[in-house]
Structure 1
Amino acid sequence: MRGRALAVTWLVAGWLVTGLLVGCERDPAGEPRAGFAGLGTDAGGFTPVAPEAALRFPEDHGPHPGTRLEWWYLTANLRDAEGAPLGIQWTLFRRALRPPTAPAAGAWAADQLWMAHVAVSRGADHRVAERFARGAGQGGADEARQAGVIADPFRAWLDDWRLESRVEAGTGDALDRLEVSAEAGRGEAAFGYRLTLDAQGPLVLHGKPAFGEAAAGAGGPIYLSQPFYRVTGTVTLGGERLSVSGRAWLDREWGNQLMAPWHHGWDWFSLHLAGGRKLMVYRLRGEAATDTTLFGSWIAADGETRALDGEALSLTPLATRSVAGRELPLRWRLTLPEQGLDLEVSARHPNRWMSTSVPYWEGAVTVRDRDDGAARGEGYLEMTGY
């Protein structure tokens, strides 16, 4: 019976991964033709994303099941009681398996795939776990659903991996105060965390280029963040339970075509800088320099945000390392002339490869001044499509 159960588990996992990667065609060299995980393919039939001015909360903290993809994505730069750095990630992805107008393929058909990732990192130690669920985008008894998101009161979960609001209804934004928890592994291999997050600033709405149908006026994608969290709690790793504190950044994005067909992947930075300032930088990569899209957001300590384009910032890889059989840029030069910043951004450790069904690199980085080497901040870097 155990062997049969294992076989069924692997069969279901195969179905789920196939659903996640649908549309990701490859050329003869094995490279995606339409962007990382198919996110550059045509998205006809999905619900157009509302213009940014139409955002409503708490409703838009919840799922948008008619769109093709969205995520709730948390990273945190932490330190233990002795000052040693740690990093954590908690992510819930929702992927629509077919447009809302497409007929179901049978009684066993599901219209949504949920995928969750958790990670804890310290030094060379990098622990990663992944879970899947299938089902509807919304509806049904909440307690009966393996995974989902509720806007009010805000709750996102897959099994017992949870991100939940601590805000009483009507007393503030649902994302102002959160608790996140996850556990994975057993014995000495167990890892996880239970953290409380308190926002010290407002939600931030980023401008992001639109592609495909959206570029013709349908709108989207929508990308917003809560980059102002202060964090306290505990992390379990290597048989230890550690008291930690630090800063966190939550990203929310939803839409239908999140990159152009000629983009192969992205390099994304979320940085906490001196004086409470924040910086988001997004580079969508193509084969040629002219196929690359660079943009970002400069966020003042009070939350005032200014959109950045390739004229306002530059991003240049400085050094690569071989990680999981791939050459990855782990040291970068980042300049913002108007802010008088010439920065070097470096990975704390190369071993941050997410060996998940759709693999990528995700890890903490340090930020230093290129002239004098002085510390200027810290943050997270994500690299996909390598």
Structure 2
Amino acid sequence: MRLFSSLPAAALAAAALLLTAAAPTFTSVIPNTPIALPRDHGAHPNFRTEWWYVTGWLTTPEHQKLGFQITFFRTRLATDPANPSKFAPKQILFAHAALSDPAAARLRHAQRIARQGFGLAEVSTADTKITLDDWSLQRRADGQFTAHVAGDGFALDLTLTPTQAAILQGDAGYSQKGPDPAEASHYFSLPHLKVGGSVTRAGKPAAITGTAWLDREWSSTLLNPRAVGWDWLGLNMDDGGALTLFRVRDAAGAPVWAGGSYRDKTGHQTKFAPTDVRFTAARRWKSPRTGALYPVAPTVTVRLNGIDRTIPVTPLFPDQELDSRRGGGPVYWEGAVTVPGGRGYLEMTGYAAPLKM
């Protein structure tokens, strides 16, 4: 039995509280802080939380379409930073991986969790280099990313090659997530990653090609107290454009905040204000496992160049719910979707229970 899948995050956090003498001060997100690459591909351990989030579409030799998600998280615990003990847990690393397989009509997914250190869970501050047991995500000197994850009945061994410059979300990488300017993250994206490698299902590897999207985000105060979750949409458009849309919701489903960006094929970028983005449920799906009701096929309206544009979103299939409670995480919907002229991923949190961050 591996520590990563059997020891929940709550237990690790409880252990940390026992060792707390003085709560640390987390670094705040400050506007006008430049994104510095490649340094900001690496970890930011003085912030409360961050993630490396990769999603994409894959094509098998038989022309079957698959979706995938690989996400590594880092969370700083409330332990005394002056505690000299190397056994005092200071940083937790955890990761989720999922394969959206229409043949199974469900997600194949797995997760890992451990406190940083001891050669089992490590993350670099210089560049993307994360290991968590036998999982890894790394950025090489040539800018290419490599990823390896494996779970029950599936494995992904991928190379991800950037084809476009990074998108600095929000105001030059400062992305506001609520009415209080402190409710924000540092955030950049790499769309249109060229994917190669292999996918293994039921012990049978197959070469794949595809396109992916990578998000890098770090924060210490992300959500407004009224917020229960968010909806996020990242789309690689067929013409080379990239569209990011999100809304943060309250318990009644009303927007607490919204935003996003559109970079067209020429590289021109438009930032969306909260009033520019609307999510409307067109079709819902109820999870038979959790009872959560998800708007899996929303219609998104975005105001671009003074014109309201309506975008219908269609899931690869409805049941793309990921239950990470065994590792102390939330239940959420994370799925491959298409839109007219593009495809990407839709993430919906806070529908099974309010999300706390």
Instruction: Tell me, yes or no, if structure 1 residue 363 matches structure 2 residue 343.
Output: no
Does the CA contact (< 8 Å) of 2:110 and 2:151 recur in 1? Answer: yes
**Which 4+ stretches in 1 moved above 6 angstroms?**
5-9
Cα 1:87/1:12, change in 2 over 3 Å: closer
Q: Which residue of 1 aligns with 2:293?
A: 327
Q: Flag the structure with larger Rg.
A: 1
Read off the aligned partner of 2:348 and give its amino acid letter. Answer: M
Does the CA contact (< 8 Å) of 1:148 and 1:158 recur in 2? Answer: yes
- Answer 1 or 2: which has greater helix percent: 1
Does the CA contact (< 8 Å) of 1:19 and 1:113 recur in 2? Answer: no
Read off the aligned partner of 1:311 and give its amino acid letter. Answer: T
Does the CA contact (< 8 Å) of 1:211 and 1:257 recur in 2? Answer: no
Does the CA contact (< 8 Å) of 2:280 and 2:298 recur in 1? Answer: yes
Rounded Cα–Cα distance in structure 1 between residues aligned with 2:15 and 2:318 = 30
1:60 is paired with a residue of what secondary structure?
A: helix
> Residues 301-380 of structure 1 correspond to what in structure 2 (within 5 A)?
301-323=265-287, 324=289, 325-338=291-304, 341-357=309-325, 358=329, 359-368=331-340, 376-380=341-345
1:249 is paired with a residue of what secondary structure?
A: strand
Does the CA contact (< 8 Å) of 1:78 and 1:87 recur in 2? Answer: yes
1:384 corresponds to which of 327, 349, 352: 349
| CA displacement at 1:14 relative to structure 2 | 4.7
1:215 is paired with a residue of what secondary structure?
A: coil
Q: Which residue of 1 aligns with 2:263?
A: 299
Unaligned stretches of 5+ residues in structure 2 = 18-22, 352-357
> Residues 1-386 of structure 1 correspond to what in structure 2 (within 5 A)?
10=6, 14-16=10-12, 45-98=25-78, 104=83, 108-123=87-102, 124-135=105-116, 144-152=118-126, 154-168=128-142, 176-185=143-152, 189=153, 191-207=154-170, 208-209=175-176, 215=181, 220-288=184-252, 291-323=255-287, 324=289, 325-338=291-304, 341-357=309-325, 358=329, 359-368=331-340, 376-386=341-351
Deviations 1:310-343 (A, max 9, x none): 3333221111111131111011112234366322
Does the CA contact (< 8 Å) of 1:204 and 1:303 recur in 2? Answer: no
Cα-Cα RMSD: 2.9
Rounded Cα–Cα distance in structure 2 between residues aligned with 1:385 and 1:107 = 35
Read off the aligned partner of 2:69 and give its amino acid letter. Answer: Q
| CA displacement at 1:383 relative to structure 2 | 0.8
1:15 is paired with a residue of what secondary structure?
A: helix
Rounded Cα–Cα distance in structure 2 between residues aligned with 1:85 and 1:182 = 19
| CA displacement at 1:130 relative to structure 2 | 0.8
Does the CA contact (< 8 Å) of 1:331 and 1:346 recur in 2? Answer: yes
Cα 1:155/1:6, change in 2 over 3 Å: closer
Q: Which residue of 2 aligns with 1:35?
A: none
Q: Which residue of 2 aligns with 1:140?
A: none
Does the CA contact (< 8 Å) of 2:42 and 2:127 recur in 1? Answer: no
Rounded Cα–Cα distance in structure 2 between residues aligned with 1:83 and 1:198 = 21
Does the CA contact (< 8 Å) of 2:194 and 2:212 recur in 1? Answer: yes
Rounded Cα–Cα distance in structure 2 between residues aligned with 1:272 and 1:360 = 22
| CA displacement at 1:167 relative to structure 2 | 2.5
Cα 1:313/1:130, change in 2 over 3 Å: same
Read off the aligned partner of 1:180 and give its amino acid letter. Answer: A
Does the CA contact (< 8 Å) of 2:5 and 2:111 recur in 1? Answer: no
1:65 is paired with a residue of what secondary structure?
A: coil
| TM-score (norm: length of structure 1) | 0.78
Unaligned stretches of 5+ residues in structure 1 = 23-42, 137-143, 169-175, 369-375
Rounded Cα–Cα distance in structure 1 between residues aligned with 2:188 and 2:35 = 11
Q: Percent identity, please.
A: 33
Cα 1:63/1:257, change in 2 over 3 Å: same
2:239 is paired with a residue of what secondary structure?
A: helix
| CA displacement at 1:16 relative to structure 2 | 2.9
The count of aligned residue pairs is 332
| TM-score (norm: length of structure 2) | 0.83
Does the CA contact (< 8 Å) of 2:5 and 2:113 recur in 1? Answer: no
| CA displacement at 1:10 relative to structure 2 | 4.6
